[in-house]
Structure 1
Amino acid sequence: MAQEHVQIFDTTLRDGEQVPGCKLDTKSKLVIAERLDLLGVDIIEAGFPVSSPGDFNSVEEISKIVKNATVCGLTRAVENDIKVAAEALSHAKRPRIHTGIGTSDSHIKFKFNSNREAIIERAVAAVSYAKSFVEDVEFYAEDAGRTDNEFLARVCEAVVKAGATVLNIPDTTGYCLPEEYGAKIKYLKENVTGIHKAVLSCHCHNDLGLATANSIAGILNGARQIECTINGIGERAGNTSLEEVVMIMRQHPDLNLDTRINSKLLYSTSQLVSDSMGMMVQPNKAVVGANAFAHSSGIHQDGVIKNRETYEIMDPHDVGVTESAIVLTARSGRAALAYRAKNVGFELDKLQLDKVYKEFLKLADTQKEINDEDIPKIIKASGISLV
């Protein structure tokens, strides 16, 4: 069966940049945008043009340089927002306006002091107005995760009729469970008249650590776009992680779903975003963290040395990492010590290894990690000639 394409909508430069202290200037955004285009993302959400002159300029300049991806600008369901976004996107080869409004009862009552019928009217008006500028219009139903499914379906049906090409179903607060979010996508797929005219999109936040799981549940139930960020950065606990959803699909070919992402660029792109934003990638971060392919337990190290797939489901080369790391600690065994010693030029037989290992444990108990520079010293301390 041929694999179906899942579009990757990258919002690193919009939602990701909303992290406190991670503001980027236009020059840095252009560098990241070029890399995202090279990476193979389908859509780059370049910013929120009406929010500031700097954001407008960034969206405009990104629109000029992106060669392959659709360039998207975010708006509220406000005519001036939409008009300004259209101006910022005027140079884009493939422009998209992303407009929308809150649909949960909480948003309708407390944020808008409105009612359901008025919200549908505003949603339709926004999509219709955006459609007068560009053909590709994405509608977001903010707080869809906590929106009643029947009402959400009514909103979606109305905006599709008005010309929306993509329906963004955000779990804005990261509240949903995967089964719940998947069921919501399934409900819309089965109950929105004209749904075949639009792409359902997952935009999941990570407040409960479920953003990736919810996005995967979404595509398993009919969504064909995932909105995500490099390293999973974003407001509060962050967004769905691009590298995670991409590699989940790659590692599970039985899903018959894939992306156009060049996975060999994932690690370097992660580092670029981390360095540009001054936001360290947590060491245990899936796929791109420093420890994602590092092994310090003796049992794991022995298994990986014998056959990498014993403890690694991904080949590090597939995500742009040079090799797996065998980290020498007090928990390491003889196999790991022999492996690292050989890498720095010392081939130890069994008797030599037994002597060196005793010295190794003495030093390993006093420092967190044994480095390559320590190995010759350990061998010398064991009484073995280096010649």
Structure 2
Amino acid sequence: MLPFPPDHTPRYQDFSIKAISDETLREGGERAPFGADDQRKARLIEAITQAGITDIDVGSGITEPAFVRSILDAKHLMGRIPEQAGFSFNLTLKTWEPLCEELERQLPRTYLEDIYVSIGMIEIDSESHLFEKVCDRLRSIGVGKLRSSLLNAFSSTVDDAKYEHLNRQIERCRRQGISLIRINDSVGTLMPDATAVLAANLVRDNPDITFYLHSHNDRGLGTANSLISVFHGFQMIEGGVAGVGNRAGLAEIESIASVFEENDITIDSGPLDQDKLNSAALLAEKTFMAAPDPYRAVSGFLVRNENAGIVNVPDYLGVSRPVDYFLNRIGLFPTYIKQILTESGMNTEAITDDAFIDEVYEELAARMDRKYQAKRDEYDRLTSEIVGFYDDIVRLDEVQTCALDVMSRHQSIDRQVTLRAA
């Protein structure tokens, strides 16, 4: 495994990074089984930028350049998006030709100069220097800023061979004048210790490059790895609100913001608004038709609900935090009923009557049991509907059936033409 540089010192608080890069729109669109309409996506961008995020990755699809045009119109002509907000568009060396054509067709040169284009899969056809040719092509149509996304299938460690391969790709980017590079944990296999070593070495060996980590959450480590990357030197951080991203998602930006606030980590592009980020996370679920996650860290809509019963350890420890309380059977004890009634100001005679407290306990328990059964039945129905909702995804075999339908339609037209000619 690659070792730490001998002079490396991590930083955990009281430092600054350049920016947060948001992937909600791009990966949300790629992940959503049924897509998302442009109007909802635009409202989501407005919510994310109003929360203080200024680096937005907008999309990668063939229809997205037209959407980018509408977003830049909203920024420059309508003032709906903050002036400091910037946008990037993704293409790979497998998709560059139609996307270049659409970028040139949809965006005026002033807009092309205003956006980043991020290039991925740069190893493709390297013998014929395809990456370099695509950089030239993008510049010829007026794109003023390029960044690169380096894809990796990391194992749990980063060995010397993998590290040297990365540096060769970084050098290719450097020769193209690209100084903003995203390191992709493309299949979510990096471990935090390997992330730390990777970040420390890349920053030490490439002081002219700004790095950030694209950290997938396949092992539940996306947010941890993203934080580790900046603790060990990366100058930007990336994620999605609500952790939106392909498969298990990306690092959760609202969780990152919470850690930053607690550790006095600031962002050169400006402060973040935690409440607005949390609202944007809920909006992201609606935009991409994702089933709401009520207990997601920081932004889940039930995450601040705390069992108020005897089992409430945070309150016992004197931890102060904004919460809403509830009671269930696990937390229900006669002793706690007496405490609640005392704090509510009920008369002492009733509170000291053990028979009365027991009766209240039994009535509450019966109510909870009835509510549980009703909610159990409702939950089973809702989960069945949700699974059914996602079951209608367009699968790959539908490409073939669609092609056969088109072929059949063409053959029918050909027969009609032949009959008319006869």
TM-score by length of 1: 0.76
Shift of 1:176: 0.7
Find 1:185's aligned residue among 182, 190, 199: 199
SS of 2:154's partner is helix
Partner of residue 358, structure 1 = 358
| Displacement after TM superposition at 1:347 (Å) | 2.6
1:16 equivalent in structure 2:
28
Q: Which consecutive unaligned segments of at least 5 residues does structure 2 have?
A: 1-12, 75-80, 156-160, 372-422
Q: Verify the 8 A CA contact 2:89 2:117 in the aligned structure 1.
A: yes
Residue 171 of structure 1 corresponds to 185
Residue aligning to 2:99: 81
Alignment of 1:1-387 (within 5 A): 3-48=15-60, 51-53=61-63, 55-65=64-74, 66-67=81-82, 68-77=84-93, 78-85=96-103, 88=106, 90=108, 92=111, 94-101=114-121, 118=127, 121-132=129-140, 133-143=142-152, 145=154, 148-192=162-206, 195-196=207-208, 198-253=209-264, 260-296=271-307, 298-299=309-310, 301=312, 304=315, 307-309=318-320, 312=321, 316=322, 324-332=323-331, 347-349=345-347, 351-353=349-351, 357-368=357-368
| Equivalent position amino acid for 2:102 in 1 | V
Cα deviation for residue 82 of structure 1 reads 3.7
Q: Distance in 2 between matches of 1:369 and 1:269?
A: 36
CA-CA distance at 1:87 after TM superposition: 5.3
Structure number with the bigger relative contact order (C-alpha 8 A, sep ≥ 6) is: 2
Assess if the C-alpha contact under 8 Å between 2:21 and 2:239 holds in 1: yes
Q: 1:351 to 1:276 in 2, by over 3 A?
A: farther
Alignment CA distance shift 1:57-1:300 (3 Å): farther
Identity %: 19
The structure whose Rg is larger is 2
Greater shift in the superposed pair: 356-365 or 237-246: 356-365
Change in 2 beyond 3 A, CA 1:239/1:367: farther
The answer as to whether partners of 2:19 and 2:267 remain within 8 angstroms in 1 is no
Higher mean C-alpha displacement, 55-64 vs 355-364:
355-364
Give the Å deviation of 1:80.
Answer: 4.5
Whether contact under 8 Å (1:232, 1:242) holds in the other structure is yes
Alpha-carbon distance, 1:368 to partner: 4.6
| Contact 1:145/1:170, CA 8 A, preserved across alignment | no
Letter paired with 2:116: R
Q: Which moved more, 1:324-333 or 1:84-93?
A: 84-93
Q: Match of 2:6?
A: none
Query: How many equivalent pairs are there?
Result: 338
TM-score by structure 2 length? 0.70
In structure 1, runs of 5+ residues without a counterpart are 104-111, 317-323, 372-387
Alignment RMSD (CA, Å): 3.2
Shift of 1:274: 2.0
Change (3 A) 1:128 1:187: farther
